[in-house]
Amino acid sequence: MNIKKILFASLIVFGLQNTTAQTDLEQIQTTLNLYINGTANGNPNDVKKAFHKDLNLYFIKNDSLKAWPGKKYIKNIKDGVKANRVGKIVSVNVVNKIAHAIVEIDMPDRKRRFTDFMLLSKIDNEWKIVHKAFTSEKY
């Protein structure tokens, strides 16, 4: 009888841990989709919700690392003006309150695909994109 109780308790604990991880993954996907949909649909407020207030975007130009303040990036999004961009979440990895994700953004009008490498943190029980590095390639 004691073995059954121990087994039952173990299953409950494992199940709760698994539920928490799924909840974090769902919250991360929601944050990433705020960014993806906000940039595609001209909704800077959604992007602002996804980004940490101190986020910078990083990229390489002429063999040098460049930084672009997130606030300036958001200001370039015109409210209500849709962009021909199709985004998808490629992968997400989560460990405790830190995650990294890869997002691809296809821009068919420009024949360019961007790959975004996102670092996310769970701050005050909310997942925020705290760092974004990106690159692109023509096709």
Q: What is the mean pLDDT of each run of 10 residues along the chain (139 residues)?
A: 55 48 88 98 98 98 97 97 97 98 98 98 97 98
User: Cα(37)–Cα(24) distance, rounded to whole angstroms?
Assistant: 20
The DSSP code for 7 is: H
Report the distance separating Cα 99 and Cα 92, nearest Å. 7
Q: What's the pLDDT at 13? A: 43
The whole-chain average pLDDT of the chain stands at 90
Give residue 12's pLDDT: 45
DSSP assignment of 53-86 = TT-EEEEEETTEEEEEEHHHHHHTSPTT-----E
What residues contact residue 102 under an 8 Å CB cut-off, 6+ apart?
Answer: 89, 90, 91, 115, 116, 117, 118
Q: What is the pLDDT of residue 120?
A: 98
Per the structure, how many domains does the chain have?
Answer: 1
In degrees and rounded to multiples of 5, residue 103 shows phi and psi of -125, 135
Domain that holds residue 86: 2-138
Looking at residue 74, which CATH number applies to its domain?
A: 3.10.450.50
Statement: the pTM of the whole predicted model exceeds 0.75: yes
